[in-house]
Structure 1
Amino acid sequence: MPSETCGPERHPCRHGRTEGGCAHCQVRLVSVCSALTPEELNELELLSRHVVLDARQTLFSQGEETTAVYNVTGGALRLSRLLPDGRRHVMGFALVGDFLGLVLTERQTVTAEALSPVTVCRFDRRAFQDLMVRKPHLLQRLHERAGYELGLAQELMLLLARRGAEEKVASFLVALRGRYARIGLTSVTLELPMGRQDIADHLGLTIETVSRTLTRLDREKLILIVPGGVRLLDMPRLERLSG
């Protein structure tokens, strides 16, 4: 089970969090929390619980009652949905700064599983909704974030419908690099916390196709496969390939 602690002293110095709490959290700069003043951050902190998950632990499951909102402060999670025919589709991946649980439905539409050690701030859903009513600027930031995520979903729909395997994988790498850049990670080495099967289930491909495509991109010197990820050697060619 995920471990959880509370109180102002609950935030250990791990994954961007410091003992100073929300006001000193480095993740705040890339999260919707950046819209809040120091006083408002203190108010937000009183609502939060610090949750730690090990790799492969589940934060919440599809069909589960939506009782909380989560801000990812460390690690990465896989967001998947079980289809009626029993197949799994990976809807996406949550990274540092992402908010989860902001669904309008009363039950979760996806399952969120940790791909690596993960830390999140957990907020009771009703308490968080009350805070948004009182802090319109926070609601505006959440709307902006929702618009960004809608754009990602639309790009994925186009990706799945119109492109071949090489274009899909190249687009996935370019998009992931862009998401990392949004949180200040601009290294040419792209960390891939998700496995080949996760990427395949996300892009509508087989794991064999994903592996062959990555190997081909490596052979053509667009990328270099390294432990834990890939090194992006030729971004202009990758971007052209991704369309």
Structure 2
Amino acid sequence: MVHPESLRVVSQRLGALPAPCAACDVRERNFCAVLEPAEMAELTRILTEAQVPPHGTLFREGEPADFVMNITRGAVKLYKLLADGRRQVLGFRFAGDFIGLTAGPDYSYSAEALSETRVCRFGRRRLDALRERFGRIDRRLLELSVDELAATQEQLVLLGRKHAEEKLVSFLLLLGQAQVRRGEPGEPIVLPMNRSDIADYLGLTIETVSRTFTTLRKRGLIALDDTTHVRVLDRAALEALATGTG
């Protein structure tokens, strides 16, 4: 659930609002895009909105997985705490992404807002009931699960055979590609996560991440407008680096 200490605003049930989903900027990328108007009307009856401030917790690993969520604005970090206390960032999710779906009764990871984030929440049991009635929901969720698997495979490649420079360049290019898929400009590449988050995702130290950013800038491959915006100056060289041919 969205934790009380993180929650800034929770709306009334959206079923009471006039055509709430008509104004959603990311509906076409959410699982609900496949629903017919009558089905959408039923979905809104089990939907609530929540707004979470930066660093607010949406849910924690090991808690009962009572809700699943569509991100409609902002960015979210997914992570697990390892037995030795270290943190492994599993990935980053953005507007249009779906989080919280799990095979078991509890969440298998934690989710934290990186920026001001808005989500649509669905009670898991009530959504499961709709899934039984509307088969197209299950088909869409399967598509999203396949996308999730592809993202996991990308991370395994990043953590496996690549060295630090290749990892960071690949990460930046993937972020830019994801912006384009969301209908946003591909540049500048926006980094809502901090250097520590990037390090924990790529399996590097913060110092290595910062040093690699500096090296790429000095080589004239990227420009850093600030800590959260990266401009690509030599895409061909970056793509060669990402594939290990540069």
Q: TM-score interval w.r.t. the shorter chain?
A: over 0.9
Q: How many residues align?
A: 236
The corresponding residue for 1:76 is 75
**What is the alpha-carbon distance in structure 2 between the residues aligned to residue 215 and residue 240 of structure 1?**
18
How high is the TM-score relative to the length of structure 1? 0.93
Give percent identity, aligned residues only.
Answer: 42
Q: Secondary structure at the match of 1:150?
A: helix
The alpha-carbon deviation at position 72 of structure 1 amounts to: 0.2
Answer yes or no: is the 8 Å Cα contact 1:80–1:111 preserved in 2: yes
The corresponding residue for 1:231 is 231
The corresponding residue for 2:56 is 57
The alpha-carbon deviation at position 139 of structure 1 amounts to: 1.1
**What is the alpha-carbon distance in structure 2 between the residues aligned to residue 238 and residue 215 of structure 1?**
14
**What is the alpha-carbon distance in structure 1 between the residues aligned to residue 22 and residue 36 of structure 2?**
9
**What is the alpha-carbon distance in structure 1 between the residues aligned to residue 235 and residue 34 of structure 2?**
33
Whether 1:5 and 2:1 are equivalent positions in the alignment is no
**What is the alpha-carbon distance in structure 2 between the residues aligned to residue 9 and residue 32 of structure 1?**
18
**What is the alpha-carbon distance in structure 2 between the residues aligned to residue 125 and residue 45 of structure 1?**
14
The corresponding residue for 1:240 is 240
Answer yes or no: is the 8 Å Cα contact 1:58–1:112 preserved in 2: yes
> RMSD between aligned alpha carbons?
1.5
1:171-182 equivalent positions in 2, closer than 5 A? 171-182=170-181
Superimposed CA distance per residue, residues 103-155 of structure 1 (whole angstroms, 9 cap, x where no aligned partner) = 10111111111111000000000111111121111211111111011011011
Q: What amino acid does structure 2 have at the position aligned with 1:141?
A: R
Answer yes or no: is the 8 Å Cα contact 1:47–1:124 preserved in 2: yes
Q: What amino acid does structure 1 have at the position aligned with 2:13?
A: G
Q: Secondary structure at the match of 2:118?
A: strand
Answer yes or no: is the 8 Å Cα contact 2:67–2:100 preserved in 1: yes
How high is the TM-score relative to the length of structure 2? 0.91
Q: Secondary structure at the match of 2:45?
A: helix
**What is the alpha-carbon distance in structure 1 between the residues aligned to residue 176 and residue 120 of structure 2?**
24
**What is the alpha-carbon distance in structure 2 between the residues aligned to residue 161 and residue 232 of structure 1?**
25
Q: What amino acid does structure 2 have at the position aligned with 1:107?
A: D
Answer yes or no: is the 8 Å Cα contact 2:67–2:121 preserved in 1: yes
The alpha-carbon deviation at position 193 of structure 1 amounts to: 0.4
Answer yes or no: is the 8 Å Cα contact 1:6–1:48 preserved in 2: no
The corresponding residue for 2:23 is 24
The alpha-carbon deviation at position 4 of structure 1 amounts to: 1.5
Unpaired runs of 5+ residues, structure 1, are 12-18
Q: What amino acid does structure 1 have at the position aligned with 2:234?
A: D
Q: What amino acid does structure 2 have at the position aligned with 1:8?
A: L
Q: What amino acid does structure 1 have at the position aligned with 2:238?
A: L
Q: What amino acid does structure 2 have at the position aligned with 1:56?
A: H
Q: Secondary structure at the match of 2:211?
A: helix
The corresponding residue for 2:92 is 93
Instruction: Tell me: CA distance 1:24–1:187, structure 2 relative to 1, closer, same or farther (3 Å).
Output: same
The corresponding residue for 1:126 is 125
Answer yes or no: is the 8 Å Cα contact 2:14–2:47 preserved in 1: no
Instruction: Tell me: CA distance 1:178–1:10, structure 2 relative to 1, closer, same or farther (3 Å).
Output: farther
Unpaired runs of 5+ residues, structure 2, are none
